Amino acid sequence: MDLEEIAQVLDAVSRFVRERLVPNEDRVEAEDAIPHEILDEMKAIGLFGLTIPEEYGGLGFGMEAEARVIIEVGKAAPAYRSAFATTIGIGSQGIVIDGTDAQKERYLPRLATGEIIGSFALTEPGSGSDAGALKTSAVRDGNDFVINGSKRWITNAPEAGVFTVFARTNPEEKGARGVSAFLVEADNPGITIGKTDRKMGHHGSHTADVYFDDCRVPETALLGGKTEQGFKTAMKVLDRGRLHIAAASVGIAERLIADALAYAMEREQFGQPIAQFQLVQAMLADSRAEAYAAHCAVLDAARRRDQGEDVTELASCCKLFCTEMAGRVADRAVQIHGGSGYVSDFKVEQFYRDVRLYRLYEGTSQIQQLIIARRMIKQVS
């Protein structure tokens, strides 16, 4: 896509956010579901195919264009983005980056239209931050692999059509090296989806455990046709995913700032709008400055990724800074709203809960710090 076409998509997405997503936010929160008609509209705009290559029916957006779209969509309740985010991100990028031609042909066209939802099954009850310690096993049996184990908090598991599942094929190797990735279809009789988790926020976006009980898949389900490459695939996918979450954090921060400013201009105390008070202005100004820095950082790292740079360190810098920034901005937005920020009549109460997740998933802030520092040390040793 050329720049003009990307600008047209961005324009359509901005309009969609204002006219369709924001007005339906209370409904999504109350019903814990994205309305079907909105999902259909997302598919029609191309959101489910945003990052899938054009030859497989997607829009083929690079990282910068994706980040720009996600900043826009991020200005509405986070559950909307989550509906398509795993399909364009962690649930498809393993196939895009490392899949065989046959795997690409089998899944990418249906992912791009939203006909099937892609999901990413890495985390387990016993392995979260230490992803390489996962215990789910995949044992070769003739031309098949048999998968056993369980996965935890898997986003979009109840809706998924295909899971990228990480399982240990080499039991001798306890760490990251023994892990392989498989594409497992949700209608496989060896899969059971647990009950949908009750969460602090992100209502309308569903997570659940996924259980594999003698789940038999053909060897063609092995991602890229190679064993023991799964952990690297996961890390490559997460490099992109972390920039995506950073962009989403920028979007929600910009929304919270706009809402807090509007409230501060309207709410009067001591005979004047509270926006006239310097202590309120300080909260607005700090939020604006931090969101601006975060916006610039995520676009810079995204552009570098598009130019072929290794952005592992920068992706972690962006994930760390942008998600922590969104947490601070949400906290100030509640403070500016005062008591109104603590009741659910205004959206800040919900967004305050929603943004908390950004500092946890796709690697906690502490994991990002660890990745950044490890890279810094490696560069000088």
Phi, psi of 189 (to 5 degrees): -65, -15
Q: What do you get for the CA distance between the two ends of the chain, in Å?
A: 41
Element housing 369 (H / E): helix 365-380
Nearer to ligand COS, 106 or 232 (CB): 232
User: What are the residues binding ligand COS (CB under 6 A)?
Assistant: 120, 122-123, 129-132, 175-177, 231-232, 235-236, 238-239, 312, 361-363, 367, 371
Judge whether 90 and 238 are in contact, CB under 8 Å: yes
**Gap between the Cα atoms of 338 and 116, Å rounded:** 43
257 CB-near residues (< 8 Å, 6+ apart): 284, 287, 288, 291, 329, 333
Q: How far is the CB of 340 from ligand COS (least distance, A)?
A: 33
What is the bridge-based pairing of β-strands 162-168 and 179-185? antiparallel
Q: How far is the CB of 268 from ligand COS (least distance, A)?
A: 44
- 280: three-class secondary structure by DSSP: helix
Nearer to ligand COS, 37 or 130 (CB): 130
**Gap between the Cα atoms of 222 and 167, Å rounded:** 10
26 CB-near residues (< 8 Å, 6+ apart): none
DSSP 249: H
Nearer to ligand COS, 281 or 307 (CB): 307
Judge whether 118 and 151 are in contact, CB under 8 Å: no
Nearer to ligand COS, 107 or 231 (CB): 231
What's the one-letter identity of residue 351?
A: F
Judge whether 287 and 329 are in contact, CB under 8 Å: yes
**Gap between the Cα atoms of 45 and 70, Å rounded:** 14
Structure tokens at 242: 């972390």
**Gap between the Cα atoms of 229 and 34, Å rounded:** 35
Structure tokens at 88: 């364009």
**Gap between the Cα atoms of 146 and 214, Å rounded:** 6
Nearer to ligand COS, 192 or 366 (CB): 366
Phi, psi of 229 (to 5 degrees): -110, 0
Q: How far is the CB of 101 from ligand COS (least distance, A)?
A: 22
Nearer to ligand COS, 33 or 235 (CB): 235
- 362 catalytic residue (yes or no): yes
Nearer to ligand COS, 122 or 243 (CB): 122
Closest CA to 239 of 302, 176, 299: 302
User: Annotated catalytic sites, by residue?
Assistant: 362
